[in-house]
Amino acid sequence: MNKFLDVNPEVAAAIAQGKPVVALESTIISHGMPYPQNVETALNVEKIIRDNGAVPATIAVIGGRLKAGLTPEEIEYFGKKGQDIAKASRRDLAVLCARGEDGATTVTTTMIIAHMAGIKIFATGGIGGVHRGAETTMDISADLEELSQTPVMVVCAGAKSILDLGLTLEYLETKGVPVVGYGTEELPAFYTQKSGFKVDYRMDSPAQLAAAFKTQNELGFKGGMLVANPIPDEYAMPFEVITKAIETAIAESKAKGIHGKETTPFLLAKVAELTGGNSLASNIQLVYNNAKLAAQTAVEYFK
């Protein structure tokens, strides 16, 4: 066990007994939405995972300790502190641990800590990817590199639609990461079910997902698997509406000179503003949907 890692006793017992566990990120708590909605959402996600037969493990960095499984009090602490907590990517973990500081885990760092703890499956909202204009800026999310080297299944609603989805798929193909559509042959684009880009495989049950990922692990491949689970019909936003909002937000971010890790939070907040807050409601529902599928897949994986 890594000396910087603390595994919640319930999570540790489940892992030791070969029971299903699902990892959850903490950036969605601190940076994803306002308090107290963030805490309520995080606790609801954990409940959905329990209701579907698995143990939730919300992951974060607190006081320089890598935490696999937060208590309700720790989730409340993260929710109240909000954006005062730094977003932690791979490059940040060592410094945060050395300084004894807090960090909200992204897809990348949640995968790293989940793997350290022995957790196979992780549910999130959407992954990062290749940003529009990356051919000149080289702005590519660390999430893609982590998927290529850390054997954790990531269940998401696709890549955020503010990204260049075609280049994101090309990058994942180059890195050997299978992209599986759950009940779809098309990559969902976070708020919408459509993107115009095809996934590598379509699978239609948690058992199929679990079998594919278990086989990948037994083959000894080092990378992960990306499961793209479309947002439910009733919460999906029209493709045209979200596309127009994204284009407006991107134009404003360029005009203001926003770049790097500030880009995604700015664009998501601007899209939420332009869509009258509907995108936040959609965001919450797609996370719930992903948590349910991840828990059902984890149950099948450990049968």
The CATH superfamily of 126-303 is: Indigoidine synthase domain (3.40.1790.10)
Longest CA–CA span in the chain (Å) reads: 54
Give the residues of the chain that fall short of pLDDT 70: 1, 261, 277-278
Share of the chain above pLDDT 70, in %: 99
At the top level of CATH, the class of 1-119 is alpha beta
Report the distance separating Cα 270 and Cα 246, nearest Å: 8
Report the distance separating Cα 278 and Cα 80, nearest Å: 23
Is 160 tagged catalytic? yes
The 10s digit of each residue's pLDDT in 147-166 is 999 999 999 999 977 789 99
**One of 67, 87, 120, 160 is an active-site residue; which one?**
160
pTM tops 0.85? yes
Is 256 tagged catalytic? no
What are the extents of the domains in the chain?
Answer: 1-119, 126-303
What is the 8-class DSSP label of residue 229? Answer: -
Contact predicate 276/302, CB 8 Å: no
